[in-house]
Amino acid sequence: MSELTRIPAPDGVAPAAPYSHVVMGTGRFVAISGQLALDEGGRPVGEGDPAAQARQVFENLRRCLASAGATFDDVVKLTCFVTDMAYMPAIREARAAHIPDDRLPASSAVQVAALVRPEFLMEIEAYAIVPD
């Protein structure tokens, strides 16, 4: 695990909830492409079910991080692209299963008109800093 500093509320900035405004660290930078709710065989998971899709997306992120020698503890930034902001509670629940409240990364959530295929409700990308 890399040594990361999280600043949930810098001076003069409204407190963040549930994310950190700033995350700093040193080490090897890892970028994980946006992950979709696809199983190992490339089949969609949880069509029409945001909770099932969020769980699969976070499992895919976990596997991608592991391939780089990283864990969710090393994640400094998540970006969530959703077709409806109503899916954010499902994403937060899946995130909570992998990232404790005291290790929250910087985060952004963006509503988009569509993703690469209509059955996908969300896509999430991650950035991590891993010890050298």
pLDDT per position in the chain (132 positions), as tens? 558 888 888 899 988 778 888 888 889 999 999 999 999 999 999 999 999 999 999 999 999 999 999 999 999 999 999 999 999 999 999 999 999 998 999 999 999 999 999 999 999 999 999 988
User: Which residues lie closer than 8 Å to 6 by C-beta, 6 or more apart?
Assistant: 20, 22, 23, 103, 104, 105
Q: Is the pTM of this model over 0.75?
A: yes
The answer to whether 94 and 87 have CB atoms below 8 angstroms apart is: no
The CATH H-level (homologous superfamily) assignment of domain 17-130 is RutC-like (3.30.1330.40)
Tokens of 65: 């991080």
Q: How is the beta sheet containing 106-111 ordered, strand by strand?
A: 28-35, 122-130, 75-82, 106-111
The residue extents of the domains of the chain are 17-130
Tokens of 89: 């509670």
Q: Which of 112, 45, 113, 44 is nearest to 79 (CA)?
A: 112
Rounded distance, CA 27 to CA 43, Å? 35
